[in-house]
């Protein structure tokens, strides 16, 4: 079993739909990252969370440390949101080493 599990692996939705991507992990962590990777490869760091909830535009990220679970939500999804979304956790005691999820491929159809 991977230490970081994302679900779903693939998600196709219509423009405007509310999107949720989940990340569960099995280790104690000091931080969790949500990243976006577009076709062509470039990675954008969306959020770094250690507790609670963060919002940036149409993106919302939440984390429940006790349940070892985080979600990334996209409201009013748009085709330009199509990308791979990656969850990565920083284990407790680690400076920067990250454990990566496999990613969720999101396709938003117009």
Partner 1 sequence: GAVVSQHPSWVICKSGTSVKIECRSLDFQATTMFWYRQFPKQSLMLMATSNEGSKATYEQGVEKDKFLINHASLTLSTLTVTSAHPEDSSFYICSAGVVRATDTQYFGPGTRLTVL
Specify the residue, 13 or 48, whose C-beta has the smaller distance to partner 1. 48
Structure tokens at 46: 């969306």
Specify the residue, 17 or 60, whose C-beta has the smaller distance to partner 1. 60
With 0-12 / 13-18 / 19 or more C-beta atoms within 10 angstroms meaning exposed / middle / buried, residue 49 is buried
The rounded distance, in Å, linking the Cα atoms of 9 and 80 is 19
Instruction: Please report how close the Cβ of residue 47 comes to partner 1 at its closest, in angstroms.
Output: 10
* Residues found near partner 1 in the complex (CB under 8 A): 31, 33, 35, 41-45, 48, 50, 86, 90, 95-98, 100-103
């Amino acid at each position: 079993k991977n230490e970081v599990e994302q679900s779903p692996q693939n998600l196709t939705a219509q423009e405007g739909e509310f999107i949720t991507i989940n990340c569960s992990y099995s280790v104690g962590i000091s931080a969790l990252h949500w990243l976006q990777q577009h076709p062509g490869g470039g990675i954008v760091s969306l959020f770094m969370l250690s507790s609670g909830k963060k919002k940036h535009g149409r993106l919302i990220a939440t984390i429940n440390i006790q349940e070892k679970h985080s979600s990334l939500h996209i409201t009013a999804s748009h085709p330009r949101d199509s990308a791979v979304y990656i969850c990565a956790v920083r284990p407790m005691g680690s400076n920067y080493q990250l454990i990566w999820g496999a990613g969720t491929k999101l396709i938003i159809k117009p």
